[in-house]
């Protein structure tokens, strides 16, 4: 968008990599974007927060806000970075807009403002703004550049004016709100999307019992514009670094405000039950899991990312490993992270999707990578010991895998079997 951007991180390893034009995570299109903007001298990286604050008109805070054991949001990184920004501010450095991009509980902005006032020298001129981020991993670049909406929450008209300049070349509606409403929009939006997923997953359980097909039911729901077809894909449940944390966070925030949000507690329960139901079905099919060879395709929490945080697939691998199944798993991008994440288990990470299925008694599809849908199932059939697929993401076409000789189990749909000769 033509702005000059100076990125700060206290992880010097990341800063070194980025300064060399290398992206520390797998995110389609991001490395090219970094390299292009570096070449055009608009994008730089540093560990020097004081320099970054001094040189900038707008300072975005984008630090993690992880969940604590009780589900509340850990705001210590926000507090720390607010203090560091405060200590970098001087009355001679001019007006600054401090923008919170991290997902934070409603009213955190006021605490950031108070913290900066407490630790900054006299006479500094600044405002605090909330500008929540809605991008999804795996399509972050496109989500960032083509957002459905841009939410800017501020109680200062001066700061609002600066923020509208920051976003002036974006072709998206800008919703202007007060500081606290913007903060709440993020938790409310993510929790609503998680609710949609749990809703269709609960429907998938009814479909399995009744013989209805959840894909058709979701299509019928999605055609109603008031419902929309987005986030109605039944599967193993939602994972990742946002939904599980944000639903928990919103439950905790509401509880703390004295307005318990029981609906969201059920959203969480349905999400947990979804994986358990799937595991039960695998167990029923194999009778006991002990010493059964199980291949798992997909370890990332979803496709097009190497992120395994709160990945349902990782949880599933752990559970099967605990029951002493012999689990071998493959993921096109998340293998390195999964090796670390599953280091305390017997799960073997394979480098090749076909090697992974050799002698397996079941193939579990746990992440919706495109390459799994395009696999050569004739070859997979030859390599496996038993031709059984459990598709946790409804990725495959039942008809074609059955034609390749497989028994096919998916979520919220009837199981399909090859014709007996």
> What are the residues binding ligand UDX (CB under 6 A)?
133-137, 190, 193, 197, 231-233, 235, 238-240, 242-243, 301-302
- Find all residues with CB under 8 Å of 316, minimum gap 6, and list them: 236, 275, 278, 279, 296, 364, 366, 392
242 is catalytic: yes
Helix axes 179-210, 243-256, angle to 10 degrees: 120
Judged by beta carbon, residue 134 or residue 354, the one nearer ligand UDX is: 134
List the catalytic residue out of 242, 317, 350, 356. 242
Judged by beta carbon, residue 129 or residue 360, the one nearer ligand UDX is: 129
> CB of residue 62 vs ligand UDX: minimum separation in angstroms?
12
> CB of residue 36 vs ligand UDX: minimum separation in angstroms?
23
Judged by beta carbon, residue 50 or residue 135, the one nearer ligand UDX is: 135
Judged by beta carbon, residue 38 or residue 135, the one nearer ligand UDX is: 135
> CB of residue 236 vs ligand UDX: minimum separation in angstroms?
7
Neighbours of 298 (CB within 10 A): 30
> CB of residue 353 vs ligand UDX: minimum separation in angstroms?
19
Q: In b/e form, how buried is each residue of 72-102, taking b as 16+ CB within 10 angstroms?
A: bbebeebeebbebbbebbeeebeebbbbbeb
- Cα dihedral 197→198→200→206 (10° resolution): 160
Judged by beta carbon, residue 278 or residue 301, the one nearer ligand UDX is: 301
| CB contact at 8 A, 299 and 313 | yes
Cα 331 from chain centre = 17
| CB contact at 8 A, 65 and 73 | yes
Strand 348-349 to 326-330 pairing = parallel
Judged by beta carbon, residue 100 or residue 137, the one nearer ligand UDX is: 137
* Residue 118, both tokens: 């407490």
> CB of residue 232 vs ligand UDX: minimum separation in angstroms?
6
- DSSP-assigned beta bridge partners for residue 150: 174
> CB of residue 234 vs ligand UDX: minimum separation in angstroms?
7
**How does DSSP assign 132-172, residue by residue?**
---PPTTSHHHHHHS-S-EEEE-S-HHHHHHHHHHTTT--S
What are the catalytic residues? 242
């Amino acid at each position: 968008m033509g702005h000059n951007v100076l990125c700060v991180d206290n992880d010097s390893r990341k800063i070194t990599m980025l300064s060399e034009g290398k992206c520390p995570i797998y995110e389609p299109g991001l490395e090219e974007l970094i390299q292009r903007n570096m070449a055009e001298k608009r994008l730089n990286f540093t560990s020097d927060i004081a320099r970054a604050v001094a040189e900038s008109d707008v300072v975005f805070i984008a630090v993690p806000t992880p969940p604590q054991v009780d589900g509340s949001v850990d705001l210590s990184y926000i507090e720390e970075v607010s203090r560091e920004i405060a200590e970098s501010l001087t009355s001679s450095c001019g007006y600054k807009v401090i923008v919170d991009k991290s997902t934070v509980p409603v009213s955190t902005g006021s605490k950031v403002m108070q913290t900066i006032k407490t630790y900054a020298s006299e006479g500094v001129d600044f405002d605090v703004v909330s500008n929540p981020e809605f991008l999804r991993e795996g399509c972050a670049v496109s989500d960032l550049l083509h957002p459905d909406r841009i939410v800017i929450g501020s109680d200062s008209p001066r700061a609002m004016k600066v923020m509208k300049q920051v976003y002036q070349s974006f072709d998206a509606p800008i919703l202007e709100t007060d500081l606290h409403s913007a903060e709440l929009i993020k938790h409310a939006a993510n929790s609503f999307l998680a609710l949609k997923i749990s809703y269709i997953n609960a429907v998938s359980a009814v479909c399995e019992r009744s013989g209805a097909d959840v894909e058709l039911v979701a299509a019928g729901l999605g055609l109603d514009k008031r419902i929309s077809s987005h986030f109605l894909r039944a599967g193993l449940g939602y994972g990742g670094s946002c939904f599980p944390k944000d639903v928990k966070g919103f439950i905790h925030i509401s509880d703390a405000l004295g307005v318990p949000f029981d609906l969201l507690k059920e959203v969480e329960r349905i999400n947990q039950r979804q994986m358990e139901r799937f595991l039960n079905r695998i167990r029923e099919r194999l009778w006991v899991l002990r010493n059964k060879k199980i291949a798992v395709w997909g370890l990332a929490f979803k496709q097009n990312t190497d992120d395994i945080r709160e990945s349902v697939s990782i949880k599933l691998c752990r559970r099967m490993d605990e029951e002493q199944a012999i689990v071998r798993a493959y993921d096109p991008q998340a293998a390195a992270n999964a090796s670390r994440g599953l280091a305390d288990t017997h799960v073997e990470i394979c480098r090749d999707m076909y090697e992974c299925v050799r002698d397996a008694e079941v193939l579990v599809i746990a992440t919706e990578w495109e390459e799994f849908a395009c696999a050569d199932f004739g070859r997979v059939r030859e390599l496996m010991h038993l031709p059984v697929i459990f598709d946790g993401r409804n990725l495959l076409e039942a008809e074609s895998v059955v034609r390749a000789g497989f028994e096919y189990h998916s979520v919220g749909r009837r199981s399909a079997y090859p014709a007996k000769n």
